[in-house]
Chain A
Amino acid sequence: MVFRSEEMCLAQLFLQSGSEYDCISELGELGLVEFRDLNPSVSSFQRRFVSEIKRCEEMERILGFLLREIQKAKIAVPQEDESPLAPPPRQVLEIMEQLQRLEMELSEVAKNKDKLQRNLLELTEYTHMLKITRSFIHSRSRHEALGPQYEEFPTMETDSATGSTGMQRLGAKLGFISGLIQRVKVEAFERMLWRVCKGYTILSYTEVDESLADLDTGEINKSVVFLISFWGDQIGHKVQKICDCYHCHLYPHPENDEERADVLDSLRTRIQDLNNVLHRTDDYLRQVLQKAAESAYAWVVQVKKMKAIYHILNLCSFDVTNKCLIAEVWCPVSDLANLRGALEKGSRKGDATVPSFVNRIPSSDTPPTLLRSNKFTTGFQSIVEAYGVGDYREVSPAPYTIITFPFLFAVMFGDLGHGMIMSLFALWMVLTEKNQKKKRSSNEIWMTFFHGRYIILMMGLFSIYTGLIYNDCFSKSLNIFGSGWSVKAMFTNQQWTNKTVQTNALLTLDPNVSRVFSGPYPFGIDPIWNLAVNRLSFLNSYKMKMSVIVGVIHMSFGVVLSVFNHFVYLLFLPELLFLICLFGYLVFMILYKWLAFSAHNSSQAPSILIHFINMFVMQGKDVTPLYPGQTGLQVFLLLIAVMCVPVLLLGKPLYLYWQQRGGKGLRRRRVINISCTVLQFDFADVLMHQAIHTIEYCLGCVSNTASYLRLWALSLAHAQLSEVLWAMVMRLGFKITTKVGVVFLVPVFGLFATLTVSILLVMEGLSAFLHALRLHWVEFQNKFYHGTGVKFLPFDFSQLPSVFEQDGLL
């Protein structure tokens, strides 16, 4: 029963040192109790089980690395529906070993792969360089054939200093340096060469077609093959230094074409071999990751549970003399039997000689609040808790909110068509909820709508009902039962003739004429009002009075509920009397006017507001009374209301003062808080608080009643928006009478539908939701609800968040 929060008790658990791990594991699976911290002064590094937690964190680190590798390899991790239990300590070492072995293997394979890839890159670059410099040499030799002839001498020796082959020419050596450099650096390189070597070098370069990956930075950029020919040793040294400076990859330049061809061939075979090895390495890596992925999910859950259990064990205090661990928990009284059962099961699993047991202890601390809810009531519970979690054993407004919140929403939203669309949308969400829960979308807005699917369903269903009463379906009315107003009767009674119809643009039906008005429409607002020009005059009066009636009843309900909350429960009586005598009387006047005055005495129909104001000012002489004895009754009611104020102001302080003096208090079931407050009794303090409460309540009655007029305001806004949308969009489509109009109707309907959903459903829906929520939180709940409690957070494995899920790895 969610009427008020459950009774909680403080209990001590005595856990035997062998089986404490298993007991807490059992409790975590069931999610029954909330643990209290018995070592608040100890820092987290000095607690008993710190080393175990460090071990768990190490395992989590390895698991994180593993999951990232698995994700990089794009392998899916299969997730089981049933989560595995926390592993016993002996299994923990096995898992730790497995994980460490996996980590080592993976890092070794990654290192090897890296080396192989670097090798491959070097070989590829060398190949490119050889191919391109061949074209340089050949083009140059062609060029040289036309230009001045250089005497070529066959190769003398390999110059070890420059590492390049040289050719004797005119006493100076011609050397070659070849290699690759990044595209972006080429111009600077050329300029530097020119400045340093002053024309003794010739640089030729071409861009490589294939873009190669730079292994150090991981970027893919274009490289350029260059060939530098120079004369002289010093130049050679300088060129070497410049090449080093610009991070060029240098490769030995072959002397002649045969050597070049040989080197190319060997390179080709080496590259092929390397590719093979790389492929096989990749396959092996994939295999290892696949095997790890199968048990990854189980490991993650097990490590998470283990870490949670050790955290809880850290909260307990170790009783050295008894060789057992003591834990203090908050437990619902109704769950004590389950708690005992869980401890027995844990003791059995841990093979303890002496079973662990529970001992209930008295406590003066305020227990946390627990309100059980199922998937339907959770939504409504959460909107109440967004205002504040209820105090311990305070009446919860949640079960009433299930109906009153959608009802007040529907009063503001009231449209049959829009209500049906909303209900269908919510119904779809409810029927596919299993699939949606599995998908676990990360879109926050969608998740918000999904969590509130039952709220939206109720809101939609009530909107259908209020839409039928308001007789508003996409701004059109339905005529199901036949209108109560008859135009024909005006003609048959000779009120109107054909001439009056032709000469006037507007005519008003007169209910005084017989058979014009034949009784109220049996269900809702008469459909003729939708066709009338003075529709709003009638509807505004109706909706305003309806808002006040609904508001006064809602607030009275709130005051009645406070009987169960205020420990001096008789105080609800002056509050209720004040509200009923003043605003209940207003409601009575509204009803009286509806029933007593009709068309034939409509000229004498009084303004309710004037009468109400006159009541407060106690002036009734100028206005004719509504009924005989009105002034007397009004004075009487006003007197009662005024007398309620001092009772409200002084009642509670005087009662507490009397109780402190030793008087017999009116016993209430919530004894715990009374003893607390009586001990620190300060008359002035209590009096001041009560004065504030009295002023707030009395002034609040007036302002809150007026606040309920937002029900009228929003329903008017919705109706008008709906009408404008119809008149400005849909009707334009219908007005076209040619055949083109049929085709034109399609985009017109599309626009109508889009605007209906976006403006009328989403915007107006959110607006009415917000205002209904405000009416609940302020006008209803401030009559009885404090909402300053603490929520009960049980130790439950399913509630613990997973670090990996948050990172998107799982």
Chain B
Amino acid sequence: MADQRFAIAMSVMTLFWGIVGGVVPWFIPKGPNRGVIVTMLVLTAVCCYLFWLIAILAQLNPLFGPSLSTDIIWYLNLAWD
């Protein structure tokens, strides 16, 4: 189930930024600004995807867990499943 969540997240984000950076540039109409807009789309896709990827890879195999105070543990035990 955990792997499923990870797989869904990975595929959704890759697909989304892939479309933004790889597919949408083909549909930008020809004009004086086409180059700038395409550059912007590709760079946005690369930067945002990279940033998200680093965040998720850093948490994939945690080496240690969070230390919580016991009040919070008591509350989380009740509230979160």
Q: Is the CB of A591 within 8 A of B63?
A: no
Q: Is the CB of B66 within 8 A of A465?
A: no
Q: Is the CB of A533 within 8 A of B67?
A: yes
**What is the CB-to-nearest-CB distance from A549 to chain B, in angstroms, rounded to a whole number?**
6
A518 contacts the other chain (CB 8 A): yes
Q: Is the CB of A399 within 8 A of B58?
A: no
Q: Is the CB of A602 within 8 A of B63?
A: yes
Q: Is the CB of B56 within 8 A of A522?
A: yes
- Of residues 33 through 68 on chain B, the ones whose CB sits less than 8 Å from some CB of chain A are 33, 35-36, 39-40, 43-44, 47-48, 50-52, 54-68
Q: Is the CB of A534 within 8 A of B67?
A: yes
Q: Is the CB of B66 within 8 A of A402?
A: no
With A469-B51, A469-B52: A400-B5 Cβ-Cβ less than 8 Å:
no
Q: Is the CB of B9 within 8 A of A508?
A: no
A520 contacts the other chain (CB 8 A): yes
With A377-B36, A407-B47: A605-B55 Cβ-Cβ less than 8 Å:
no
**What is the CB-to-nearest-CB distance from A241 to chain B, in angstroms, rounded to a whole number?**
86
Chain A residues whose C-beta falls within 8 Å of the C-beta of B26 in the assembled complex: none
Chain B residues whose C-beta falls within 8 Å of the C-beta of A491 in the assembled complex: 77
Q: Is the CB of A400 within 8 A of B43?
A: yes
Chain A residues whose C-beta falls within 8 Å of the C-beta of B40 in the assembled complex: 399, 402-403
**What is the CB-to-nearest-CB distance from B20 to chain A, in angstroms, rounded to a whole number?**
12
Q: Is the CB of A532 within 8 A of B62?
A: no
> What's the A-B contact tally at a CB cutoff of 8 Å?
176
- Of residues 500 through 534 on chain A, the ones whose CB sits less than 8 Å from some CB of chain B are 501-502, 504-511, 516-526, 528-529, 531-534
- Of residues 473 through 513 on chain A, the ones whose CB sits less than 8 Å from some CB of chain B are 481-488, 491, 496, 501-502, 504-511
A681 contacts the other chain (CB 8 A): no
Q: Is the CB of B80 within 8 A of A483?
A: yes
CA distance A482 to B54 in the complex (A): 20
Chain B residues whose C-beta falls within 8 Å of the C-beta of A535 in the assembled complex: 66
Chain B residues whose C-beta falls within 8 Å of the C-beta of A524 in the assembled complex: 52, 55
Chain B residues whose C-beta falls within 8 Å of the C-beta of A532 in the assembled complex: 66-68
With A523-B52, A546-B54: A594-B68 Cβ-Cβ less than 8 Å:
no
Q: Is the CB of B51 within 8 A of A605?
A: no
Total residues of chain A contacting the partner, CB 8 A: 72
CA distance A521 to B67 in the complex (A): 18
Chain A residues whose C-beta falls within 8 Å of the C-beta of B72 in the assembled complex: 531
The answer, among A2, A484, A605, for a CB contact under 8 Å with B59, is A484
Chain A residues whose C-beta falls within 8 Å of the C-beta of B36 in the assembled complex: 1-2, 377, 399, 402
Chain A residues whose C-beta falls within 8 Å of the C-beta of B1 in the assembled complex: 518-519
Q: Is the CB of A488 within 8 A of B67?
A: no
Chain B residues whose C-beta falls within 8 Å of the C-beta of A705 in the assembled complex: none
Q: Is the CB of A520 within 8 A of B68?
A: no
CA distance A371 to B36 in the complex (A): 12
Q: Is the CB of A1 within 8 A of B54?
A: no
CA distance A502 to B77 in the complex (A): 14
A553 contacts the other chain (CB 8 A): yes
**What is the CB-to-nearest-CB distance from A715 to chain B, in angstroms, rounded to a whole number?**
12
CA distance A377 to B2 in the complex (A): 44
Q: Is the CB of A507 within 8 A of B58?
A: no
The answer, among A372, A520, A591, for a CB contact under 8 Å with B6, is A520
Chain A residues whose C-beta falls within 8 Å of the C-beta of B77 in the assembled complex: 487-488, 491
**What is the CB-to-nearest-CB distance from B32 to chain A, in angstroms, rounded to a whole number?**
8
A595 contacts the other chain (CB 8 A): yes
CA distance A566 to B7 in the complex (A): 44
Total residues of chain B contacting the partner, CB 8 A: 45
**What is the CB-to-nearest-CB distance from B29 to chain A, in angstroms, rounded to a whole number?**
15
Chain A residues whose C-beta falls within 8 Å of the C-beta of B6 in the assembled complex: 519-520, 522
The answer, among B33, B58, B80, for a CB contact under 8 Å with A594, is B58
**What is the CB-to-nearest-CB distance from B59 to chain A, in angstroms, rounded to a whole number?**
4
Q: Is the CB of A465 within 8 A of B63?
A: no
Q: Is the CB of A485 within 8 A of B61?
A: no
Smallest CB gap from A528: residue in B? B66
A550 contacts the other chain (CB 8 A): yes
Chain B residues whose C-beta falls within 8 Å of the C-beta of A602 in the assembled complex: 63-64
Chain B residues whose C-beta falls within 8 Å of the C-beta of A516 in the assembled complex: 65
Q: Is the CB of A533 within 8 A of B68?
A: yes
Q: Is the CB of A538 within 8 A of B43?
A: no
Q: Is the CB of A542 within 8 A of B68?
A: no
A599 contacts the other chain (CB 8 A): yes
CA distance A402 to B13 in the complex (A): 23
The answer, among B35, B61, B74, for a CB contact under 8 Å with A595, is B61
**What is the CB-to-nearest-CB distance from B43 to chain A, in angstroms, rounded to a whole number?**
4
Chain B residues whose C-beta falls within 8 Å of the C-beta of A402 in the assembled complex: 36, 39-40, 43
The answer, among B43, B67, B80, for a CB contact under 8 Å with A404, is B43
CA distance A372 to B32 in the complex (A): 10
CA distance A415 to B64 in the complex (A): 25
Q: Is the CB of A501 within 8 A of B61?
A: no
A562 contacts the other chain (CB 8 A): no
A41 contacts the other chain (CB 8 A): no
Most chain A CB atoms below 10 A, which of B65, B69, B74, B76: B65
Q: Is the CB of B9 within 8 A of A542?
A: no
- Of residues 377 through 407 on chain A, the ones whose CB sits less than 8 Å from some CB of chain B are 377, 399-400, 402-404, 407
B73 contacts the other chain (CB 8 A): yes
With A374-B33, A483-B80: A520-B70 Cβ-Cβ less than 8 Å:
no
Q: Is the CB of B68 within 8 A of A507?
A: yes
CA distance A518 to B62 in the complex (A): 11
CA distance A469 to B40 in the complex (A): 21
Q: Is the CB of A522 within 8 A of B8?
A: yes
Contact mask for chain A residues 612-641; partner B; CB cutoff 8 A; 1 contact, 0 none: 000000000000000000000000000000
CA distance A549 to B50 in the complex (A): 9
Q: Is the CB of B59 within 8 A of A525?
A: yes
Chain B residues whose C-beta falls within 8 Å of the C-beta of A507 in the assembled complex: 67-68, 70, 73
Q: Is the CB of B3 within 8 A of A519?
A: yes
Contact mask for chain A residues 570-583; partner B; CB cutoff 8 A; 1 contact, 0 none: 00000000000000
Q: Is the CB of B67 within 8 A of A597?
A: no
CA distance A532 to B73 in the complex (A): 10
CA distance A534 to B33 in the complex (A): 48
Chain A residues whose C-beta falls within 8 Å of the C-beta of B73 in the assembled complex: 487, 496, 501, 507
**What is the CB-to-nearest-CB distance from A503 to chain B, in angstroms, rounded to a whole number?**
9
Given contacts A507-B67, A511-B62, A520-B56, 5 further A-B contacts (CB under 8 A): A372-B32, A403-B39, A404-B47, A533-B67, A538-B64
**What are 14 A-to-B residue pairs whose CB atoms are below 8 Å?**
A399-B36, A403-B40, A403-B43, A404-B47, A469-B51, A496-B73, A502-B70, A507-B68, A509-B65, A509-B68, A511-B65, A523-B13, A531-B68, A597-B63
5 closest cross-chain pairs (CB), A and B: A598-B61, A519-B2, A532-B66, A522-B9, A509-B65
